[in-house]
Structure 1
Amino acid sequence: MLGQWPSGVCLVTTVGPHGMHGMTASSFSSVSLDPPMVSVCLGNHLPSRALLGDAGKFAISFLGKDQAHIGRRFAGQDRSVTDRFAGLDWTITPNGCPVLSEAVAWLDCTVAHAYPGGDHTIFVGEVTGAALPRVTAPLLFHSRNWVQLADPLPQTVTARLHGDGDCFEFSADSPPSPEVVRAARQSGVTVVGYVPDAFDPDRAGEVLAAVDALTALGCDEIGLAESPVTPASPLQVRRVLQDAVVRARPAVLRVRLSGDNRLALVNALVAMKSGVSHFDVVASGSGSSGLPLDDLLHLSRQLEVAGPPDLVQIRE
């Protein structure tokens, strides 16, 4: 029954007489903001319960969508692993506990309370340190399965013709100075930085770094442009957008797809499911290589996603 309640996944780690120790847990919860406190429930039969109680400290590492294999390892599901910590990058917290260097976030805790909870012990820890090593979607656990977020479709989509509107556009490869960006925004112009070849599998890290840089620069919008030469795959569009949407905030993320790609509408659907509602389009029949407006309108109608007035105005 309780397996129907979805939760995030974390590693609970501590130290003992024989070194580092850790386990996978989903029974984690925030308890207090002031002071910052969290709780984790450990089975009384587990070695972790005794080690954590004796150490009086523990750390929490939140797992990302691409770390299910680590969750399985620390849950004891990978029988081929004898040392759960081997082959992974670890950081030692000021409290002396190991945390996963590539975790979505980690917390360093000192045990403040330990309460009996049936066949478990409820440990409440006061958070003494924290960090956000990287930004990515979380790993979830539901009904004994490791899953990812299923993003809903947007309520509306909006579109803009390539180069249309009162915008200051530039490429992430040659960004303007922060002073120029501030001046443009103060004059009421929308600042849009585009990342070229954004869905090239060999440039994933470079693309996300460019999104971070454009966000720090203060762009109103960040555009991810498909290469006109190399078609983007739906899988790579999904991989990039899952992280880029989060990294771009508070800027609006928009996508510029190639209409020459036979999977253009599939990629547009994937983009919508990844949290994108802003698209660059070309006028239907214009001969340009971008995503035709009529195709986007057709897709939005089939998905029962509303198109705002600006879509109709562009078409007319």
Structure 2
Amino acid sequence: MSTSGLDDLMGSVDSPLIVVTTSAEGERAGCLVGFHSQASIDPEHYCFWLSKANHTYRVALRSERFAVHFLTDVDRESARHFGSLSGMETDKFAGLDFTVTEDGVPLLADLPNRLIVERIAMLDDGSDHVCLTARVLATETTGGFASLRPSQLGDLTPGHSAEERAIRP
């Protein structure tokens, strides 16, 4: 079995996009995420993978709580904002409408379909992303929606390339 067609296969799957936000020691972070999934029914667990090149990864190393914001098909600007800016160079939350949980997690007002989660484990298998497994603490939704998918953002340039990861295997 060849992995040379993985990009084509994953492009056909076209998984929904999310924005993950968190904070640690007063430092806020958030990024666009394409790798994520429900990981357990009982207990309720959710996994998401963060790029080691992102500022959010560095903050996540010190974080316990996160918000997983599900993007709808009208949230293209939020996706571009969190996917193309670097948190090391700019405050991604400046000018945005958000609240903060008692644990300091930023909740984006424009993205009300979300999970509030607590990290259980972080797996670094040596690749360019780490997997966070989290326990679902709360769910907030406005009802059914059509998800925003990578094919709808074809021209998005990431804030960092995979080669910029903080830790190389």
Smaller-chain TM-score bracket? 0.7 to 0.9
For residues 86 and 143 of structure 1, the distance between their equivalents in structure 2, rounded to whole angstroms, comes to 25
Aligned residues: 144
Q: Name the amino acid aligned to 1:12.
A: V
How far apart are residue 113 of structure 1 and its match?
Answer: 0.9
| Cα distance per residue 1:165-197 (max 9 Å; x no partner) | xxxxxxxxxxxxxxxxxxxxxxxxxxxxxxxxx
Q: Quote the Cα distance in structure 2 between the aligned partners of 1:63 and 1:28.
A: 13
> Which residue does the alignment assign to 2:59?
51
Partner of 1:120: 129
Q: CA deviation at 1:75?
A: 0.8
Aligned position for 1:109: 117
Q: Percent identity?
A: 24
Partner residue in 2 for 1:205: none
8 Å CA contact 1:7–1:142 kept in 2: the answer is no
Quick check: 1:68 aligned with 2:80?
no
Shift of 1:47: 2.2
Q: Secondary structure of the residue that 1:8 maps to in structure 2?
A: coil
Check if 1:38 corresponds to 2:82.
Answer: no
User: Cα gap change, 1:62/1:49 in structure 2, threshold over 3 Å: closer, same or farther?
Assistant: same
Q: What stretches of structure 1 of length at least 5 have no aligned partner?
A: 147-316
How far is 1:136 from its partner? 3.6
Where does residue 93 of structure 2 map in the other structure?
A: 85
Residue number in structure 2 paired with 1:140: 149
What does the per-residue CA deviation read over 1:186-209, in whole Å, with 9 as the maximum and x for residues that have no partner?
Answer: xxxxxxxxxxxxxxxxxxxxxxxx
The partner residue of 1:19 within 14, 27, 35 is 27
Q: Distance in 1 between matches of 2:112 and 2:150?
A: 16
1:275-314 correspondence runs (5 A) = none
1:98 aligns with 2:98: no
Compare the two structures and name the one with the higher helix fraction.
Answer: 1
Classify the secondary structure of the residue corresponding to 1:51: helix
Pair 143,72 (structure 1): closer, same or farther in 2 beyond 3 Å: closer
The one-character-per-residue Cα deviations of 1:5-63 (angstroms, maximum 9, x if unpaired) are 30111111110234311001111111011111101111223221121121122111111
What TM-score does the superposition give when structure 1 sets the normalisation length?
0.41
Q: Which structure: larger Rg?
A: 1
Shift in alpha-carbon separation, 1:74–1:39, aligned structure 2, 3 A: same
The structure-2 alpha-carbon separation of the partners of 1:69 and 1:141, relative to structure 1 and needing over 3 Å to count, comes to same
Change in 2 beyond 3 A, CA 1:68/1:128: same
Please give the TM-score of this superposition, normalised by the length of structure 2: 0.74
Query: C-alpha distance in 1, partners of 2:16/2:65?
Result: 21
Local SS of the residue matching 1:75 = helix
Whole-angstrom distance in 2 between the partners of 1:11 and 1:143: 15
SS, match of residue 54 in structure 1: coil
Contact 2:70 2:111 in 1 (8 A): yes
Q: Note closer, same or farther for the CA distance 1:73–1:95 as it changes in structure 2 (3 Å cut).
A: same
